[in-house]
Amino acid sequence: MGYSKYDFGGQTIFGATEHSAAELAALIPSAANIAVSPTPFLDRYQPEAIARADVWRNAKETGGFSYNGKTFQSDPASAARIVAAKLAADLAEAAAPGTYTVTWQAADNSDTVLDYEGIKGLFVALAAHNASVFAAAKAAKSAIRAATTSAQIDAALAALT
């Protein structure tokens, strides 16, 4: 099914059809000079698809990440706690090398004891998770903006996993 703009002698109609412009002209005698353009549909569908990519990005970014075989929360408050713990660990390590430990709760409520290298690793895993999600969303949005068909837009959205 195609989504198009139809110009019937000055009257513009938007809609969906399985027929080509020639088929429509044969079906509707007054549409002999029909002009079909997918642009108006894409003008509406592309922003919607970009918004869907942003929703996906936000959900993935805040939906948790893996580190050392466990899933950790990555909502804004959890991410802020990880950053704060990393900064505190930096200060503690500078003051007394090798003495820092913290008990961190994984998403399944299990406790994980992390030393300085462990909290640095958790911080780096969060940053890598966010960068990966951002890159995937950026690539999808670039493909959506470059798309000339709804199938290309759908493929760009389907690539977000």
Write the DSSP string, the chain: -EEEEEEETTEEEEEEESS-HHHHHHH-GGGTT-EEESHHHHHHHHHHHHHHHHHHHHHHHTS-EEETTEEE--SHHHHHHHHHHHHHHHHHHHHSTT--EEEEE-TTS-EEEEEHHHHHHHHHHHHHHHHHHHHHHHHHHHHHHH-SSHHHHHHHHHT--
Confidence band, pLDDT 50/70/90 cuts, at residue 83? very high
**In contact, 158 and 56? CB cutoff 8 Å:** no
The tens digit of pLDDT for each residue in 109-123 reads 999 999 999 999 999
Confidence band, pLDDT 50/70/90 cuts, at residue 91? very high
> Residues 23-39: what's their mean pLDDT?
56
Q: Write down the pTM of the prediction.
A: 0.73
**In contact, 3 and 38? CB cutoff 8 Å:** yes
